[in-house]
Amino acid sequence: MKNMRTKFISVLLLASIGWFSDAVSAQAIPVTIEKNADGEWQLMRNGEPYYIKGVGGKEHLDVAIEIGANSFRTWSPDDADEVLALAEELDLTVMMGLWVGHERHGFDYNNEAKVQAQLEYFTSVVEKYKDHPNILLWGIGNEVDLFYSNTKVWDAIEDIAAMVKRLDPNHPTTTVTAGLDSREVKLIMEKAPSIDIYGINTYGDIGIVKDTIRAAGWKGPYIISEWGPTGHWEVAKTMWGAPVEQSSSEKAVSYRNRYKDYIASDKEMCIGSYVFLWGQKQETTSTWYGMFSNEGYSSEAINVLEELWTGKIPDNRAPGIEKVMLNGMVKGDSILLTADHMYEAEVFINDPDGDDMKYIWEVVKESQDIKAGGDAETRPPSVKGLGVKKKGNTVKFRAPVDEGPYRLFFFAYDGNEHYAYTNIPFYVMPASDDDQEGRPVTFKKRSL
């Protein structure tokens, strides 16, 4: 698989990390921000325009190269030796993240000793890596504004940015906010003037960025530092509060439209983006943000990026999801099933290449480990012993015996390292004497 090739490259490079740590390349490639003749902001690398076609994450970088990416983003300098060695080998640039402490994680910006220690640590990081030829930007903080109250964090951001500019005149600074709020823009302009480029993590609200950042008074360039599907906080919910996730095909449409309409279209101020997530993780569900499966198979959105970034349609494309139904109802309906009764689900799928397909169905408990800001979550277990019977694109299964919220996941694999997926939330109600045939019962309002 493609991700195995990346892991193999990483293993080879790790063998030389001892040498690399002591001999970081001393030849920086200068990166500047300038306005062209049309008054448009441009990132310049070694004197040439450099539009960021970036991925957020450090896995599957061989695939990133294949589809036209030129940069990847990290969130902290952890494993920086390995990351930069890989970037140099693959000729990719790096937005090197400096993970600034979050108030919501307990960092106290009234504690001057801790703030100073953080600055000193980042000073050592910048001194060590500032001349590496594959550094593109310094990402100073990621979503430090999420659930915070102490605006002294922006003073700390300024101190770090000013340090970077003093030690490293070759690479611009950026800081990243959770979405875009005019008040945050003004605070950064006031308290952190050493920030060169505004970074925005945005999903369903990406359409407001162009007007909002101008209305707030920002005059410099910006990047969309994370973007992708509609966020789990932005979608419709079932009666019991389960967010309704887009299928892999619905997400592919979102990636296409958001890139064309809201990223590439703002030639005056937007100098590129980092798509999210270039990998896989559990966040609300196991499929919500990752563009790859856990095994490393790529989804339809990656085909979209290749077309957008290279102008070429891939030779073999991922399958697509048209619709999924459970007990005659569609995703987004509040589907109520009766415990320990049989039900049928059906998915409608297309593959543009006519590949032979492998289908997998899985019932999973609704996650109760929902965090914020991308913090690590635990994947809920699959439910076993449901008497699953698969036939083509349909499945019959027995509803779990325990009352509560679940999801039925569907995965389709085309045999060419591509996959498609969707899931449909449902709620199991306890069986009653009046309901012996498995008909859905009336859902009563309850606190979940």
pLDDT at residue number 2: 40
pLDDT at residue number 18: 41
pLDDT tens, position by position, 178-217: 999 999 999 999 999 999 999 999 999 999 999 999 999 9
pLDDT at residue number 268: 98
Residue 442 belongs to a domain: no
Question: Do residues 261 and 344 share a domain?
Answer: no
Which domain covers residue 328, as residue numbers? 320-429
Question: Do residues 378 and 293 share a domain?
Answer: no
Residue 55 belongs to a domain: yes
Question: Do residues 280 and 349 share a domain?
Answer: no
Task: Pick the last residue of a domain from 280, 310, 340.
Answer: 310
Question: Do residues 304 and 334 share a domain?
Answer: no
9 pLDDT more than 50 = no
Query: To the nearest whole number, what is the mean pLDDT of the chain?
Result: 91
Q: In this structure, what CATH number is given to the domain that contains residue 149?
A: 3.20.20.80
Which of 1-5, 250-254, 361-365 has the weakest average pLDDT? 1-5
Global pTM reads 0.91
Confidence category of residue 16, pLDDT binned at 50, 70, 90: very low
Mean pLDDT of the region 341-359: 96
pLDDT tens, position by position, 301-312: 999 999 999 999
Question: Do residues 283 and 330 share a domain?
Answer: no
Question: Do residues 165 and 73 share a domain?
Answer: yes
Task: Pick the last residue of a domain from 310, 339, 371.
Answer: 310
Question: Do residues 296 and 370 share a domain?
Answer: no
95 pLDDT more than 60 = yes
Helix H, strand E, coil C: the string for the chain is: CHHHHHHHHHHHHHCCHHHHHHCCCCCCCCEEEEECCCCCEEEEECCEECCEEEEECCCCHHHHHHCCCCEEECCCCCCHHHHHHHHHHHCCEEEEEECCCCHHHCCCCCCHHHHHHHHHHHHHHHHHHCCCCCEEEEEEEECCCCCCCCCHHHHHHHHHHHHHHHHCCCCCEEEEEECCCHHHHHHHHHHCCCCCEEEEECCCCHHHHHHHHHHCCCCCCEEEEEECCCCCCCCCECCCCCECCCCHHHHHHHHHHHHHHHHCCCCCCEEEEEECCCCCCCECECCCCCCECCCCCECHHHHHHHHHHHCCCCCCCCCEEEEEEECCEEECECCEEECCCEEEEEEEEECCCCCCCEEEEEEEECCCCCCCCCCCCCCCCECCCCCCEEECCEEEEECCCCCEEEEEEEEEECCCCEEEEEEEEEEEECCECCECCCCCCCCCCCCC
Question: Do residues 252 and 336 share a domain?
Answer: no
415 pLDDT more than 90 = yes
Residue 59 belongs to a domain: yes
Question: Do residues 107 and 209 share a domain?
Answer: yes
pLDDT at residue number 438: 47
Question: Do residues 135 and 19 share a domain?
Answer: yes
25 pLDDT more than 50 = no
Task: Pick the last residue of a domain from 310, 329, 364.
Answer: 310
Mean pLDDT of the region 166-187: 97
Q: How many domains does the chain have?
A: 2
